[in-house]
């Protein structure tokens, strides 16, 4: 039995709730950068390559926009930040410098000359026609997926998954979902908790199922643990 492993933040999607107007700016393409105070998850969890979910509010899941962080800029104040980040990609495309600074200052509730730790990150949105990731399941697991008893799935030597929109499928049966996180680790580090989240009663039962699905599985392989949520 392996030890409980820490969650790797960079393998989780970065959740960014927005009010209606900034969300619409992202939809229209006039906003490409998001600015936040550097605290909480925004203190050290924003890195190039991390997947991002932009959502209008907290509960409107179907409004989600997905993308990837491509650039990160940190600063000790808004005025310093605007020397690096193009203000016309912050939601002030139609304004000149001073007016843009005032608009962004109002949105952030930060004075332009105030000393405050800020982080800005550029988000490259997925193309609108990007298909969701297809995650197939054996029929024996479908009822556990539908009921919410199964919230993860372990894939051996398969690292082609990443956080983002998904479709969970068994034959013609499909459910829209979101892959919230992908944890990559050695199979030997799987735990009892991993097994229970996967809908099994024990780690031994999970390992038996992996040997069933992957006949050559011997416990030395690497695995991807997909954490998903049905919409």
> What are the extents of the domains in the chain?
9-125, 133-230
pTM for the full predicted model: 0.79
Given a cut of 80, is residue 3 above it in pLDDT?
no
The pLDDT confidence band at residue 91, using thresholds 50, 70 and 90, is confident
Please count the residues of the chain. Answer: 231
Given a cut of 60, is residue 4 above it in pLDDT?
no
What confidence tens digit (pLDDT) does each residue in 114-157 have? Answer: 899 999 999 999 998 889 999 999 999 999 999 988 999 999 98
Residues 78 and 111: beta-carbon distance below 8 Å: yes
The pLDDT confidence band at residue 9, using thresholds 50, 70 and 90, is very low
What CATH number was assigned to the domain covering residues 9-125?
2.30.130.30
Report the alpha-carbon distance of residue 196 to residue 92 in Å, rounded.
48
| pLDDT attached to residue 94 | 65
**Percent of the chain clearing pLDDT 70 (strictly above):** 93
9-125 and 133-230: identical CATH topology: yes
Q: What is the three-class DSSP state of 120?
A: strand
Residues 25 and 16: beta-carbon distance below 8 Å: no
Neighbours of 54 (CB within 10 A): 22
Given a cut of 60, is residue 212 above it in pLDDT?
yes
Decide which of 2.30.130.30, 3.40.309.10, 2.30.110.10, 3.40.50.1950 is the CATH code for 133-230. 2.30.130.30
Given a cut of 70, is residue 194 above it in pLDDT?
yes
């Amino acid at each position: 039995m392996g030890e409980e492993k820490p969650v790797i933040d960079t393998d989780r999607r970065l959740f960014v709730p927005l009010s209606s107007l900034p969300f619409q700016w992202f939809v229209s393409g006039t906003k490409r950068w998001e600015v936040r105070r550097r605290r909480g998850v925004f203190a050290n969890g924003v890195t190039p390559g991390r997947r991002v979910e932009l959502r209008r509010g907290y509960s409107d899941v179907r409004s989600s926009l997905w993308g990837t962080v491509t650039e990160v800029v940190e600063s000790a104040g808004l005025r310093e930040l605007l020397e690096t980040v193009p203000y016309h990609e912050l939601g002030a495309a139609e304004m000149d410098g001073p007016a843009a600074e005032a608009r962004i200052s109002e949105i952030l509730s930060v004075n332009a000359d105030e000393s405050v730790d800020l982080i800005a990150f550029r988000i490259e949105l997925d193309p609108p026609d990007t298909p969701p990731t297809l995650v197939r399941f054996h029929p024996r697991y479908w009822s556990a997926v539908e009921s919410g008893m199964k919230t993860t799935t372990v894939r051996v030597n398969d690292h082609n998954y990443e956080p983002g929109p998904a479709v969970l499928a068994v034959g013609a049966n499909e459910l829209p979902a979101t892959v919230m996180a992908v944890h990559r680790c050695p199979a030997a580090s799987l735990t009892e908790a991993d097994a229970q989240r996967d809908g099994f009663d024990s780690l031994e039962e999970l390992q038996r199922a992996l040997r069933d699905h992957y006949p050559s599985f011997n416990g030395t392989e690497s695995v991807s643990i997909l954490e998903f949520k049905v919409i």
